[in-house]
Structure 1
C-alpha cells in the first residue's frame, strides 16, 4: 500500500455497495452504470491492497477489510458534512437541515405542534423527522442528527440525555364502566375490550412484556398502527387502550376520553435524547434539542 489518494467519491461508491451488497442496486442508487461501479471498486481495492468484497456466486459479501473501511468511511463522509455545515452556518445562521429520528406511534403524533413552532421561527431550516424503532442505530450511522428513543446502555460515542419516565395509563370513553375508577390493574383488563398497536410495536411490546412477567396475556378486539386511530376507536366506544400518559395530556381534542392510572405492575417507558458526541452541532440542532428536552420535562411534571 503506497500513497493513498482516496477521495470521498470512491468512498461513497464503496459505501453504496456495502449497504446494498449488490452492485446493480448500488449503481442504480448512485446513478452510474454497473461496469463503471465495478471498475471503481477494483481501483479502490488495488489502492487498499486487499479485496473489500468477496463475490461468492451471485452473492456479494464484505471482507474484514471492507467492514473496517466502512467504519472509517462513515467518519470521513460525516467529517466532510460537518465541514460543509460549519461553512454554511458561517454564511447564514438561519439555513441548514436538521434530521430527527423519533419512535413511531404516539411520539411523532405529539411532536407535530413543536415542529410547527420550530418551522415558524426557522423558516429556512429544513426539518426532516423520521419514525423508526432503530433510533440509536440511525444516530450512530450518522443518518440523523438527533434521536428520541427508549433509554439504552451508556455508549461513549453518544451524548445521552434522559427525558424522564412516563407511565402508561388506561384511556377509556367517559361512558365506560371503568371511567369512574381511581385506578385499574392490568390483569382485570383481560375482561374488557381493548384496542392496541399491533404486536411488534414498541408500545405494544412494552405492555405485553409486563403482562407476560405476571403470567397473563391481553386480548384485543382491534389492532391499528397510529395513535390517532386508537383514540378515535376509544372515542367511538369500540374499546379502551393502554398508552403513555402524555398522549392525552398534550391533546384536548378528545373530551370524551378519560385517563385512569394503572396500579403496579404498570408499564413505564424511559426515554432519552441522543446525538453523536464527536461531531459538529448547528445552532438549529441545539435549539431543537433544547425545545425537545423542555417538551418532555413539561410532560413528566
Structure 2
C-alpha cells in the first residue's frame, strides 16, 4: 500500500494539528491560526486519511487524542524539532542584526521592564523580527523542549520542570526575586498567617509551590486557606483589597506597583529566594542574533538597574 507522504508531512497540517492539541477546541484553534473552522477540520481530516486512523475522539463536547493521535503528536514534535535544529545550525553563521527571535514569557512575571527593553531593541535592530508570547510554565518548558522558542523568561530553580534533559539548557539571571506577603493588618504576626483566608495563584503555579517549600512547618498541611485563586497578579490584588483576604505576589510586581497597593507587606520568617531568568538551549548560545540580544540586555541593565526601572513603571492595577 502506497503512503501519501506529502499529506503526512505537510508542515501546515502538522502545525494545525499541534495547535488543536494545545486548545482541544476547533473554534479556539482556528481563531488563533487565523483560519476558518472548516479549513482547520479539512487539514485534520487530511492527516487522518493519510494515516488511516482517527487522531481525535470526542466524549460529549470534549476532544481527546486517540492512540494514533498521541503517536502523531510525538512524531510531529520530533519533526519540527529536527527542522528547527537544522535551521539553528545554519543560522549560527548568519548576521547578528537580522533573522527572527522567538521569546516566551511566563504569564505571571512582571514583564514591564522586559517590554521596555524589547521596544528599545526593536528600534535599534528593526531587521530582527520578534515573536513574543505569554504562556504558563508547562507550556514554556514544552515549547523550549520542542525547540519552538529561542528564549523563555521563567522563574528558577524550577523543581517541577518536566523537561527531558535540564543539562541542555542555560540560564541568565534577570532579577533576584522573593515572595511578598500582603495583608490588611501590618501588625499581623507571621505565624498567624495560616489562620487567614488567602486569594492566591492556583496551587500548581510557581509562587504557591515556593511558599509550600519554604513554609512547610509553619502552615498546616503545607497549605494556606485558599478559597479563591486567580492566574493574574492584578486580580489577586484587586480581590484582596476589596475583601478581608490576604495575598502574595513577587517582589518585582510589588516594587512596580507598591504606590497603588493599599495592603501592607509583612516581613517573612524565611527568605523565599528565587530568580527570573532567560532560559535557552546551549546550542543556541552561538547564534549571533541571540548572542547580540543578551549583550544588548546587559547594556540596557548597566545603563539603569532593574530596581530603578521597576520603580518607573506607571501602570494602573
TM-score, normalisation: structure 2: 0.62
After TM superposition, the structure 1 stretch with the greater mean CA deviation from structure 2, 133-142 or 111-120, is 111-120
Task: Give the alignment partner of residue 144 of structure 1, picking from 141, 146, 149.
Answer: 149
Corresponding residue for residue 80 of structure 2: 74
Change (3 A) 1:132 1:298: same
Is 1:121–2:109 an aligned residue pair? no
Map 1:1-16 → 2, pairs under 5 A: 10=9, 12=11, 15-16=14-15
1:257 and 1:56, CA in 2 relative to 1: closer, same or farther beyond 3 A?
Answer: closer
CA RMSD of superposed structures (Å): 4.7
User: Which residue of the partner structure matches residue 34 of structure 2?
Assistant: none
Larger Rg belongs to = 1
Secondary structure (helix, strand or coil) at the match of 1:156 reads: helix
How far apart, CA to CA, are the structure 1 residues paired with 2:109 and 2:181? 14
Residue in 2 aligned with 1:45?
Answer: none
Tell whether the 8 Å contact from 1:101 to 1:130 is kept in structure 2 after alignment: yes
Pick the aligned partner of 1:102 from 102, 105, 108.
105
Whether the aligned pair in 2 keeps the contact of 1:103 and 1:148 (CA below 8 Å) is: yes
- Equivalence for 1:47: none
> Which residue, out of 165, 169, 174, partners 1:158?
169
Alpha carbons 1:221, 1:239 under 8 Å: kept:
no
**Is this contact kept in 1: 2:180–2:250, CA < 8 A?**
yes
Alignment CA distance shift 1:292-1:208 (3 Å): farther
2:252 is matched with which residue: 221, 242, 246? 246
Distance in 2, matches of 1:38 and 1:193, equals 50
- Find the residue that maps to 2:235 and give its secondary structure: helix
Q: Residue 106 of structure 1 aligns to a residue in which SS?
A: coil
The verdict on how the C-alpha distance between 1:105 and 1:280 changes in structure 2, with shifts beyond 3 A counting, is closer
Contact 2:81 2:146 in 1 (8 A): no
Render the CA deviation track for 1:13-67: whole Å, top value 9, x for unaligned: 6845974689x9999777865665456x46xxxxxxxxxx877996743599978
CA change 1:286–1:280 in 2 (3 A) is closer
C-alpha separation in 2, matches of 1:193 and 1:38: 50
Q: Secondary structure at the match of 2:166?
A: coil
Q: Is the 8 A contact 1:18 1:62 kept in 2?
A: no
Q: Separation in 1 of the partners of 2:99 and 2:268?
A: 44
Look up the match of 2:203.
199
Q: How many aligned residue pairs are there?
A: 271
How far residue 201 of structure 1 moved from its aligned partner, in angstroms, is: 2.5
Pick closer, same or farther for the CA change 1:202–1:156 going to 2, 3 Å. Answer: closer
Flag the 1:161–1:214 CA change in 2: closer, same or farther, 3 A.
Answer: same
Give unpaired runs (5+ residues) of structure 1: 1-5, 43-52
Structure 2 partner of 1:219: 225
